Each structure stands twice: as structure tokens, then as C-alpha cells.
Structure 1
């Protein structure tokens, strides 16, 4: 009975989404306050119905209710509780229910905290959000119902994909969806503004916090996914340019551009047309990502489904919303006149350059991701686009972006002098180049990648400090510290995020340039040297755990005769799913990770062993977390919580006719 109630709540949520879509839009067009106000309770009701539906599905997984088809396909009684819960979204149907729940949550937030918006704009934003919910709830109910019952329930389930039975995957999808789906708010603001024909500084202030929330969650979600791939897949890499990885990276790049572009709209009422386009494209790439993950058109270890028919539905959703928004944009773009003018040497110009670099880099990732599909459909050729293409085509744009960030942060609005700005930066530029030269000398030749990464990282981190110093102004130390204390949190957030970007860049460069890899066959009791470490394969034993069998190796690591770590890499086999997984053993450190993997037994005796020394690996994720922290600091700025822009128009009751 509870399962039927969950299904019924899903249908009621669909009805509430339709009400939220239609009534506020009609009310905004006609000026009927009652119709406009209907969007708020509809959004709240939709969220509550979906929350109940999601809770019911979660309960079915926790209690192993195998009368529910989805539970049978993705759970097992021997599975630990945390993976029973994560099994809710570790599949296509459950993940789409989570998508719809997050979408309704953002709609409810707009209803609850949108009091600083004009009545018509809030009504239209809620209406667009409702339309998106109608599309995805329709997709869920009619093609991907998570509450299908089985006539004859089995005694046990078929288990969750073993790769997804990991703590990293317990948190990665929810954060990713909070980012993916959060960009729907920027899309709704853009479409609502186009319908009203008004984009001004107030609109820029309204759209920024919503975009910032999505960008922060997307940053955390991508970092968690990268961290999971690093330690779980056993390949030893942090990024593989996999289609699904790219699907989350593209909206992140566009959202970063949108954040910077919205600042120009807010401060100078310029770049209006471009900012609206970015808001549309940011959510558009999220929809494209949903299509890639669930259609099966591109192969990925992360994919949730391999169903082209359902993929066609998602493609239709993408076409309708993107096509409709871009058509409206084409009709209205000419009226989005920019009021602010600025010189070539100004913060506006630096932000334009920032936007161009981010947008083009996202386009490069998009082309590399879809080109195999295009080549197969158009030329009947099987092609693979891998890391060499992305590294060569994408990296120059990130280098250029890092180079201009400290300069742009110090340039004044409207008009500035480059020599005056560089006067504050020559010292840190010299220091950054000196650090790069030191790294080059210390590495005794080799790739230029690590020294270049060190230069860019120092340039960004020290540039962020110079930016804060400049905002502290002149005077004695106590006066400057007092000014820093009362500096807007958005300024602190910008500096912290830029520094985090620099730290991540250095981590990527150092790991790529200095990684040491060793692959060999080792006998039990044998020792071998990798870099400065002596590694001994002490023993290998078989064990039975609750829901898997494991081949567990004991490996001892020493350096100059001194113990460093005892590590236990595993090779697991899940009998229900009949699938093996590799569990790397990692000795984490600030300056390096020691990464060990045990492979298969060899016919001639011994075991395949892979050893990696990964310098500065953790700096990659530390930088990402610092970037997210910077975004959180900016979001906590009081200016994002206070009513923005002009006062609301006086409310005049207009009767519905």
C-alpha cells in the first residue's frame, strides 16, 4: 500500500507542476494577482509530494521490498545499509526521481525566498520552473516509473553495480544534481526576463546567487566524482575525459562564465544579451549531460542507462526548452540594449576575455565529446577522442585564463591603466617566474608542465593576496586590517576561489609531470624498489565478506630502512552481480600519494602489482574544495540576502475575468 501511495504522490506532484506552470504565467500576462500567487503553494505542494515519494522509494530499498522492480534490480539483502540507501539513486529511475525532487526544491526555494522579486518576474520564474518539472515528471511517470511492482517477487535482488558501492558515490550524485538542476533557476530567470523584455542591474543581482549556489554544488560534485575515480577504478588517474565527466564539466565552465558576466550586468548594465545566452546554455548543457548519461549513445563507466528510446524523450525535452528559449532570445535580443560603455583596459574587458575563454573551452570539450557520435552517424567511422586531444586543445585556454585573472581583478570599472595595475603585480610576477625556474632546476630536466604549473599557481595565489591588499587601502596596519575585516564577503570569496583554482592547476601539472609508475609481477615475500621506496609483497590471502569475496594483499613500504606504511590493496568479486572491482590502497600525504594495486595471479606464479607515486595529488581536490569555499563566502555576502534593485511596483488588485 505504501508503494502505491508513493506512486500516487508522484502523480499529484505532476498535477501541481502543471498548475505551477500555467496559472502564474497566465496571471503575469493578465495582471491577475490571484493567479500569480497560485505558483507559490503549487511549488511547495509539488516539493512535499516528491519528498514523500522519494522517502517511500528509499524505505523500499532499506527494507529490501523486492516486490518493487527497481529494488530487485539494484539491491540485495546482504548489502550494507548505506549502499541500500545510495541504491535509490544508483540507477536511471531513482536518479531521475532525485532530479525531479531537486528541481522541485529549487522551485520551492524561489517561492519561499523570492519576496524581493517583482510579482510578475517571480510568477514567470515559477512558471518556467513548473514547465521543466512537467517535462521531467512526465518522463519519469510514463517511461521510467520507479514504483513498478513485480507479480512474483524474488527471494533476493540482483545487487547494485559494485563500482557504485562506495562512499564517494553516496554523496557524488546528490551534490552533482544540486548543481546540474540548480542551473534551471538561471534558465528560468533568463526566460522570464525575455518574456518581460527587461534585463537590468536588479536582474543581475537576482540571478547571481542562484547561479552561485549551483556552481558551488557542481564544483563539489565534480571533485567528489574525480576523487572516486582516482581511488576506486584502480587506474590511478583523476580525470579521464570520459563523456559523463565532460557532461558535468561543460555546464561548470559555462556557469563560471555566467557568474562573471552577471557581475557586469549588475555593476554596469552591459553584456545583457550575452549573459542571457549563457544562462540558457548553462542549463542546456545540463540537459545534454542528462541525455548523454541515460541514452546509451556514448559509452561510459558512469552511465545510468542504455536505452535509446528513453534517450529520444530526453533529446526532445532538450530540443523543446533550448529551441524555445533560443527562439525567444532571437526575438528579444535586439531590445537588450547595453547601457554601460567601457574601454579596452577595464574590468569589463577582462571579464569579457574571461567569458570568451571559458565559453570556447566548453565548446572544445563539447566537440571532443560528441565527435565520435557525429563521425559514426555522418561518416560511418569509429573514432575515439581521448586525453591527447583534450590536453592539447583545452589546456591553452586555461593557461590564458589563469594569466589574466589577477590583472582583471585589479582593473577598475569602465576605464583603467594597465601600467598602474601591473605596478602592483610586477613583484609577484617576478616571484612566480623565480619559483618556476627553481622547480625547473630541481626536477633536473624533463617536462615544462610542472614549472609552468608552479608559475601559474603562484601567480594566482599571490595575485589574490595582492587583490585583498589593494582593497585594504593605505594607512597603518591596524587600519588596513580593520578594512579587511569589514570587506564584503564577495570580495573575500573571489580571492579564495581564485587561489583555489591556482592550487588545483599546480596539483594537475605536478601529478601529470612527475608521476612514477611501476608495473611488475611480484612473488609473495619479494621486495622491489620504486623511486625512493622499497616495497615488499608480504602475503596474499582470500577472504569472504558479507556481499563479496576479496583477494587481499599485505604490502609493506619502507624508505631508507624506515617503515612508511603497511597497505592492503584488494581485488574484489561480487558474486551476485558477477563483477570484479579493484580497490587501490593509498598512503595519502601532503606532498605525495603512494598508490598500490594488486592484480590477477600469473600462470608462472606471482601476482601482477602496479605501483604509482603521485606527487601533489591531493592538491587537486583541496583546490576544488577551496574554490567551493570561496563560492560559499560570496554567497554569504549580505548583498545577496537583501532586496535587490528597484522597489516593487505598487500592488493593485485586478479581478480575474
Structure 2
């Protein structure tokens, strides 16, 4: 009975979403406070109904209710409880329900925290958010019903995809969806502003915290996915330019551009059209990512569905919202006239360059991702676009972005002095060149990527620190003033420093990695860089819902014991699917990464070993970027809408 209540709650949520869309929009058009006031309770009610349905589905997974088709296909009684719960979103239907839940949560958040917004803008934002809810609730109910009953329930389920039975994948999708769906808020604010016919500094101040929160969640989600791929897939890498990885990376790049573009709108009332366009495109690329994951047009360990009919439905949603918003954008071009003028050398120009580089790099990733599909459809050829293309095409944009970042951050608004900014960065430049030269001198017979990465990272990190220090002014007690700076300044410096650390880690991992692939006999010792690896034993170990071939590998260096590692190769009997569990000995400056493979006909075992230099720095840099965003969100200027009282429409009371 409770399952039917969950299904009924989804149907009611769809009806409420229709009400949330139509009535507030009509009320805002008619300047009717009573009709606009319906937006907030409708958004909260939709959230409550979807949350109830999600709770029902979670309960069905926890108690192993195999009368539900989705539970049967993605769960098993022997599965650990963590993966019973994460199995709720480890499939197409459940993950889509999570998608809708987060969408409703953001709509309700505007109802709860948008009291300072003008009444008409608030009503329109909630209404646009409701319209997205209508589309996805309809998609869920009519094509992907998670409450579909089986006529004859089996005694047990088919288990969850073994690759998803991992803590990293348990938490990766919720964070990723919070980022994906969070960008719908920027879209809703953009469409509401276009309908209202006003894009100004106050609007930019309102939209920035929503975009920033989505970007923080997306950063965490992408980092968790990268970390999972690093230790779970056993390939010894952190990023493979998989289409689904790219699907989350493209909106991340556009969200970064949007955050910086909104700063110019807020400070100078310029780049209005570009900021609105980025708001539309960022969410549009989130929908493209949803299509890639769920349409079945690509093959990936991350993909959820293989039903083209669902892909057509998502394409229709993408065409309606992105196409409709772009049409409205074209019709409303006159209301986005820029007011602030700025010189060629200014902080505004640096932010424009930042936006162009990020947008073009996102477009390059999009072309590389979609080209195999286009080639197969248009010319009937099967082509592969892999890591070499993406590295060659994408890297130059990031290099240029890193070069201009410190100087651009220190330029004055409106009209800057490049010579003065570079003079202030003189010590940083000297230290950057010195560190790059040191890296070049220490490495032998390797590519220039390592020293270049060291130099770029130092330039970005030290430039961020100098920018923060320069804000303390002159005279005594600069250290005291440093800790009294606004949190947004600290957040910006922390995020930029995190980017620099990520650049360094990526360059190090590509340049200084050591790898060995071989067949090892029991008791045999083989070298891995400066280390000696001994394959001491291989044995069978039972797990809760799998059997494991576990190796015991002893690591020594110069005769001294370093660690004993236990890589595994697991087989999940329900799905008869193997997975690789790498054994990693983490260090501050390197990871030792060992993998056990299959037994060989001639005897021995296939083994792989890697020395991953500065691997932990990669995720430390990602964590710093997310921390920088969180620090900025705690700034009081983000929590209080600037000039809210001044921008309310005459005769329309604020709610």
C-alpha cells in the first residue's frame, strides 16, 4: 500500500507543479499579490510530495521489496546496507527521482530564502522552476516510473552493478545532481529577468550565490567521481575524457564563466547579455549531460539507460527549455543594454578573456564528445576521439587562463595599468621562473609538461596570495587587516590557489608517473622505480556478496619495509561481473598503486604497479576550490540581497 502512496504522491506533485507554474506567472503579469503569494506554498508542497515518494522508494530498497521492478533489477538481500540505500539512485528511475527531488528542493529554497527579492521576480523564478519540475515529473511518471510493480515478484534481486558498490559512487551522484540541478536556479533567474525586462546589478547579486552553491556541489561531485575512477577502475588514472565525465565537466566550465561574468554585471552593469546567455547555456549543458547519461547513445560505466525513447523525451525537454529561453533572449535583447564602459586594460577585460577561454574550452570538449555520434549518423563512420585529442585541444586554453589569472585579478576596474600590476607581481614572477627551472633541472629525459606545470601552479598560487595581501593596504598591522578581509576575498584566493594546485598535480601525474606491467610468480620480486615489490601470496577470500582473489604484496625500499598491500579482483556471482580493487599506499608526495590481474596459462599472475606522483594533491586542490566557494557563500554580502528595497516594483509589496 505504501508503494501506491508514493506513486500517488508523484502524480499530486505533477499537479502542484503545474499550479506552481501557471498561477504565479499570471499573478506577476497582472501585479496580483494574492496570486503571486501562491508560488511559495506550491513550491514547498511539491518538495514535500516528492520527498515522500523518494522516502517510499528508499524504504522499498532497505526492506528488499522485490515486488518493485526497480528494486529487483538493482538490489539483493545480501548487499550491504550502504549499497541498498545508494541503490536508490544507482539506476535510471531512482536517480531521476533524486534529480526531481533536488529540483523541488531548490524551488522551495527560493520560497524560504528569497524574501528580499522583488515579489514579481520571486514569483517568476519559482514559476520557471516549477515548469522544469512539470517536464521532469512527466518524464518520470510516463516513461520511468520507479513504482512499477511486478506481477510475480522473485525471491531475490539481480543486485546492483558491482562498479557502483563503492563508497565513492554512493556519494558521487547526489553531489553531482546538486550541481547539475542547482544550475537550474541560474536558468530560472535568467528567464524570470527576461520576462520582467530588467537585468541589473541587483539581479547579478541575487543570482551569484545560487550559481556559486551549484558550482561548489558540482566541484565536489566531479572530484568524487575522479577519485572513484582512480582507485576503483584499476587503470591508474584519474580522468579518462569519458563522455559522461565530459557531461559534468562542460557545465562546470560554463558555471565558472558565469560566476565571473556576474561579477562584471554587479560591479559595472556590463556583460548583461553574455551573463544571461551563460545562465541559459550552463543549465542547457546540464540537460545535455542528462541526455548523454540516459539516452543509451553512448557506452560508459557511468551510463544509466539504453532506451532511445527516453532520450527523445529528454531531447524534447532540452529543445523546449533551452530553445525557448534563447528565443526569449533574442526578443529581449533591448533590455540588456550595457551601462558601464571599460578600457582594454582593465579587470573587466581580464574577466571577458576568462569567459572566452572557458566558453571555448567547453565548446571544444563538447565537439570532442559529440563528434563520434555525429560521424556515425552523418557519414556512417565509426570514429574514436580519445585522450590525445582532448589533451592537445583543451590544455592550451587552461595554460593561457592560468597565465592571465594573477595579473587580471590585480588590475583596477574600468581602466587599469598593466605595468603596475606586473610590477607588483615581480617577486612572484621571479619565484615562478626559479621553481620551473628547478623542476626542469631535476628531471631528465622527460617532457616539458612537468616544469611548465610547476611554473603555472606557482604563478597562480603565489599570485592569489599576493592579491589577498595587496588588499590589506599599506602601513602597520597589515596582518590584522588580512584576517578582517571579507570572506569573499578569502574564498576567491582559496579557490584560485586550489586551481593552481590542481594544475600542478595534473602536470606531475602526466610527466613523472612510473609504470610497470608484468607477469610475476609467487615469491618473485620486481622493481617499481626506487621500490621493490614482492608478490608474497594470492588467495581466495569470501566477501558479503562477492568472492575475492586477494594478493599480498610487500613493498620495500633500500631493504627497508614500506608497506604490505592487498589488491583484489572481485567477482559478484549474481551478475557474474568482475571488478578491480587497487591497493594504494598514499603519501604526501606519491601514491604506490598496485593491481592484481588474472592468472596466466604459463604460471604466475598479471600485475600492474604505478608510482603516482602528487596524486593526493589533485583532490586537495579540488577540495580547496570547493572550500573557496563555501567561504564566499558565508560572506554577508551573499546572504543579503543588495538594494532589494530599491529594486522592488512600485505598488507591489515584497513578501
Aligned partners of 1:280, 1:641: CA distance in 2, in Å?
Answer: 23
Q: Note the C-alpha offset of 1:155.
A: 0.3
Q: Note the C-alpha offset of 1:445.
A: 3.4
Q: Are residue 114 (structure 1) and residue 114 (structure 2) matched?
A: yes
**Aligned residue in 2 for 1:61:** 61
**Aligned residue in 1 for 2:173:** 173
Q: Please list the CA deviations of residues 279-338 of structure 1 after superposition, one character each: whole Å capped at 9, or x if unmatched.
A: 000000000000000001122110011111100000100000011000000111233100
Aligned partners of 2:218, 2:509: CA distance in 1, in Å?
Answer: 23
Q: Is the CA contact (8 Å cut-off) linking 1:203 and 1:645 kept in structure 2?
A: no
**Aligned residue in 2 for 1:474:** 474
2:416 aligns to what SS in structure 1? coil
**Aligned residue in 1 for 2:23:** 23
Q: Please list the CA deviations of residues 27-49 of structure 1 after superposition, one character each: whole Å capped at 9, or x if unmatched.
A: 00111111111010000000011
Q: Give the root-mean-square deviation of aligned CA atoms.
A: 1.0
**Aligned residue in 2 for 1:576:** 574
Aligned runs of 1:421-440 on 2, under 5 Å? Answer: 421-440=421-440
**Aligned residue in 2 for 1:300:** 300
**Aligned residue in 2 for 1:637:** 635
**Aligned residue in 2 for 1:554:** 552
Query: Could you state the TM-score of these two structures normalised by the residue count of structure 2?
Result: 0.99
**Aligned residue in 2 for 1:44:** 44
**Aligned residue in 1 for 2:310:** 310
Deviates more, 1:643-652 or 1:95-104: 643-652
**Aligned residue in 2 for 1:513:** 511
Q: Note the C-alpha offset of 1:181.
A: 0.1
Q: Are residue 488 (structure 1) and residue 505 (structure 2) matched?
A: no
Aligned partners of 1:365, 1:642: CA distance in 2, in Å?
Answer: 36
Aligned partners of 1:643, 1:434: CA distance in 2, in Å?
Answer: 45
Aligned partners of 2:483, 2:571: CA distance in 1, in Å?
Answer: 55
The number of aligned residues is 652
Aligned runs of 1:217-232 on 2, under 5 Å? Answer: 217-232=217-232
1:273 aligns to what SS in structure 2? helix
Q: Are residue 354 (structure 1) and residue 359 (structure 2) matched?
A: no
Aligned partners of 2:208, 2:143: CA distance in 1, in Å?
Answer: 35
Q: Is the CA contact (8 Å cut-off) linking 2:118 and 2:644 kept in structure 1?
A: no
Aligned partners of 1:326, 1:438: CA distance in 2, in Å?
Answer: 50
Q: Is the CA contact (8 Å cut-off) linking 2:295 and 2:309 kept in structure 1?
A: yes
2:240 aligns to what SS in structure 1? coil
Aligned partners of 1:283, 1:650: CA distance in 2, in Å?
Answer: 32
Q: Please list the CA deviations of residues 209-266 of structure 1 after superposition, one character each: whole Å capped at 9, or x if unmatched.
A: 0000000000000000000000000111100000000000000000000000000000
Aligned partners of 1:378, 1:361: CA distance in 2, in Å?
Answer: 24
Aligned partners of 1:649, 1:275: CA distance in 2, in Å?
Answer: 23
**Aligned residue in 2 for 1:538:** 536
Deviates more, 1:416-425 or 1:241-250: 416-425
Aligned partners of 1:530, 1:31: CA distance in 2, in Å?
Answer: 72
Q: Note the C-alpha offset of 1:645.
A: 2.4
**Aligned residue in 1 for 2:625:** 627
Q: Are residue 188 (structure 1) and residue 191 (structure 2) matched?
A: no
1:539 aligns to what SS in structure 2? strand
Q: Note the C-alpha offset of 1:652.
A: 5.1
Q: Please list the CA deviations of residues 6-37 of structure 1 after superposition, one character each: whole Å capped at 9, or x if unmatched.
A: 11111111111111111100000111111111
**Aligned residue in 1 for 2:611:** 613
Aligned partners of 1:297, 1:130: CA distance in 2, in Å?
Answer: 29
Q: Please list the CA deviations of residues 412-467 of structure 1 after superposition, one character each: whole Å capped at 9, or x if unmatched.
A: 10011111111110111111011001001101231100100000110011001110
Aligned partners of 2:12, 2:41: CA distance in 1, in Å?
Answer: 13
Q: Note the C-alpha offset of 1:651.
A: 4.5
Aligned runs of 1:179-578 on 2, under 5 Å? Answer: 179-476=179-476, 479-578=477-576
Q: Is the CA contact (8 Å cut-off) linking 1:468 and 1:495 kept in structure 2?
A: yes
1:182 aligns to what SS in structure 2? helix
Q: Note the C-alpha offset of 1:653.
A: 8.1
CA pair 561-653 structure 1, distance change in 2 beyond 3 A: closer
Aligned partners of 1:464, 1:653: CA distance in 2, in Å?
Answer: 43
Q: Please list the CA deviations of residues 198-219 of structure 1 after superposition, one character each: whole Å capped at 9, or x if unmatched.
A: 0000001000000000000000
Q: Is the CA contact (8 Å cut-off) linking 2:205 and 2:641 kept in structure 1?
A: no
Aligned partners of 1:258, 1:545: CA distance in 2, in Å?
Answer: 47
Q: Note the C-alpha offset of 1:643.
A: 2.8
**Aligned residue in 2 for 1:76:** 76
Q: Is the CA contact (8 Å cut-off) linking 1:201 and 1:645 kept in structure 2?
A: no
Q: Are residue 14 (structure 1) and residue 14 (structure 2) matched?
A: yes
Aligned partners of 1:370, 1:653: CA distance in 2, in Å?
Answer: 48
Q: Is the CA contact (8 Å cut-off) linking 1:500 and 1:625 kept in structure 2?
A: yes
Q: Is the CA contact (8 Å cut-off) linking 2:119 and 2:652 kept in structure 1?
A: no
Q: Please list the CA deviations of residues 133-158 of structure 1 after superposition, one character each: whole Å capped at 9, or x if unmatched.
A: 00000000000000011111100000
2:471 aligns to what SS in structure 1? helix
Q: Note the C-alpha offset of 1:644.
A: 1.9
Aligned partners of 1:554, 1:74: CA distance in 2, in Å?
Answer: 32
Q: Please list the CA deviations of residues 319-369 of structure 1 after superposition, one character each: whole Å capped at 9, or x if unmatched.
A: 000110000001112331000000011100000000000000000000000
Q: Are residue 104 (structure 1) and residue 83 (structure 2) matched?
A: no
Q: Please list the CA deviations of residues 485-542 of structure 1 after superposition, one character each: whole Å capped at 9, or x if unmatched.
A: 2211111100000000000000000010011110000011111111100100000001
Q: Please list the CA deviations of residues 384-435 of structure 1 after superposition, one character each: whole Å capped at 9, or x if unmatched.
A: 0000000000000000001111011101100111111111101111110110
Q: Note the C-alpha offset of 1:650.
A: 4.9
Deviates more, 1:69-78 or 1:426-435: 426-435
Q: Is the CA contact (8 Å cut-off) linking 1:32 and 1:653 kept in structure 2?
A: no
Query: What residue ranges of structure 2 are gaps of 5+ in the alignment?
Result: none
CA pair 77-434 structure 1, distance change in 2 beyond 3 A: same
Q: Is the CA contact (8 Å cut-off) linking 1:294 and 1:311 kept in structure 2?
A: yes
Q: Note the C-alpha offset of 1:80.
A: 0.2
Q: Is the CA contact (8 Å cut-off) linking 1:543 and 1:551 kept in structure 2?
A: yes
2:425 aligns to what SS in structure 1? helix
Query: What residue ranges of structure 1 are gaps of 5+ in the alignment?
Result: none
1:79 aligns to what SS in structure 2? coil
Q: Is the CA contact (8 Å cut-off) linking 2:183 and 2:283 kept in structure 1?
A: yes
1:299 aligns to what SS in structure 2? coil
Q: Are residue 602 (structure 1) and residue 574 (structure 2) matched?
A: no
CA pair 646-549 structure 1, distance change in 2 beyond 3 A: closer
Aligned partners of 1:339, 1:527: CA distance in 2, in Å?
Answer: 71
Aligned partners of 1:116, 1:425: CA distance in 2, in Å?
Answer: 40
